Chains A and B, each alone.
Chain A
Amino acid sequence: MQKDIRRLSLILLFAPFALWIVLLILLPHVGMVFLSLREKIAPRVYEFGFANYIEFFNEPIYWNTLVRTGSMSLLVTVLALIIGFPIAYYIAKIAGPRVRGALFLFCLVPLWVSDLIRAFGWILLLRETGVVSNILQWTGLAAAPVEMLYNDVTVVIGLVYTVILFMIVPLASTLDGMDNSMIEAGYNLGGRGTTVLRRIIIPYAMPGIASGCIIVFMLTAGSYLTPILLGGKNSSWFTEQIYDQFITRYNWESGAAFGMLLLAFTSLVVWLGLRLTGQSLANTVTKT
Chain B
Amino acid sequence: MRIKTTVTCMIAALVFGTASIAQAETLRLLTWGSYAPDELVQKFEAEYPDIKVEVTFSNNEEMIAKLRATGGAGFDLAQPSHDRIHAAQLEYDIYKPMDLSKIDTSVMSTVHLEGVKANTTIDGEVYSVPHQWGTSGLMADKSKAPEFKNWMDLCDPMYKGKTSMRLKRTILLGTAFSLGYDPFAAYADLDEYQRILDEVVEVLIACKDNIKAYWKGGDDLAALMLSGEIVASETWDSTAYRIYNENSNIVFVPPGTGALTWIDTFTLPRKAKADDAAYKWINFVLRPENVTIMSASTGAIAAVNGGQDLLPPDKKAAVTAAWSAEDIANLQFFANIPPGIEDMEGKALEKIKAATGG
Contacts and interface: CB of A to CB of B under 8 A. Distances in A.
A128 interface: yes
A127 B227 contact: yes
A247 interface: yes
B214 A247 contact: no
Contacts of B345: 249
Given A149-B213, A246-B65, A233 B342 contact: no
Given A61-B354, A128-B227, A129-B228, A233 B65 contact: no
B213 A233 contact: yes
A244 interface: yes
A242 B319 CA distance: 38
A150 B64 contact: no
A44 interface: yes
Contacts of A127: 223, 227, 229
Given A127-B227, A129-B229, A233-B214, A250 B68 contact: yes
A173 interface: no
Interface in B187-235: 208, 211-214, 216, 220, 223, 227-229
B357 interface: yes
A15 B323 CA distance: 64
B266 to A, nearest CB: 22
Nearest to B227: A129
B12 to A, nearest CB: 28
A266 interface: no
Interface in A49-74: 59, 61-62, 64-65
A232 B216 contact: no
A284 interface: no
A256 to B, nearest CB: 13
B211 A250 contact: no
A30 B212 CA distance: 42
Interface in B26-74: 61-62, 64-65, 68
Given A127-B227, A246-B65, A248-B346, A61 B339 contact: no
A190 interface: no
Interface string B82-103: 0000001011110000000000
Contact of B64 (A228, A236, A250): A250
B342 A44 contact: no
A251 interface: yes
Contacts of A247: 61-62, 65
B147 interface: no
A245 B61 CA distance: 11
A246 B68 CA distance: 11
B149 interface: no
Contact of A43 (B90, B208, B347, B353): B90
B211 A233 contact: yes
A244 B61 CA distance: 10
B20 interface: no
A114 interface: no
A64 B211 contact: no
B350 A244 contact: yes
B358 to A, nearest CB: 7
B212 A150 contact: yes
Interface in B253-304: none
Chain A interface size range? 20 to 34
Contacts of A232: 213
A231 B64 CA distance: 27
Contacts of B227: 127-129
A234 B212 CA distance: 11
A229 interface: yes
A241 interface: yes
B342 A250 contact: yes
A234 B93 contact: no
A62 B354 CA distance: 9
Interface string A133-176: 00000000000000101100000000000000000000000000
B62 to A, nearest CB: 6
A171 B123 CA distance: 64
Of A149, A245, A248, most B-chain CB atoms within 10 Å: A248
B322 to A, nearest CB: 25
Interface in B155-178: 168
Nearest to B354: A61
Of A149, A236, A247, most B-chain CB atoms within 10 Å: A247
B354 A229 contact: no
Nearest to B228: A129
Contacts of B214: 233
Interface in A94-124: 123
Given A43-B339, A228-B216, A234 B353 contact: yes
A234 B357 contact: yes
A65 B349 CA distance: 14
B351 interface: yes
A64 B229 contact: no
Q: Top 9 closest A-B pairs, CB basis?
A: A249-B346, A129-B227, A43-B91, A150-B213, A247-B61, A61-B354, A249-B342, A128-B229, A248-B61
11 contacts: A62-B350, A127-B223, A150-B213, A229-B220, A234-B208, A245-B346, A248-B342, A249-B345, A250-B61, A250-B92, A251-B343
Given A44-B90, A233-B357, A241-B350, 9 more contacts: A147-B212, A147-B229, A149-B213, A233-B211, A244-B350, A247-B61, A249-B343, A250-B65, A251-B343
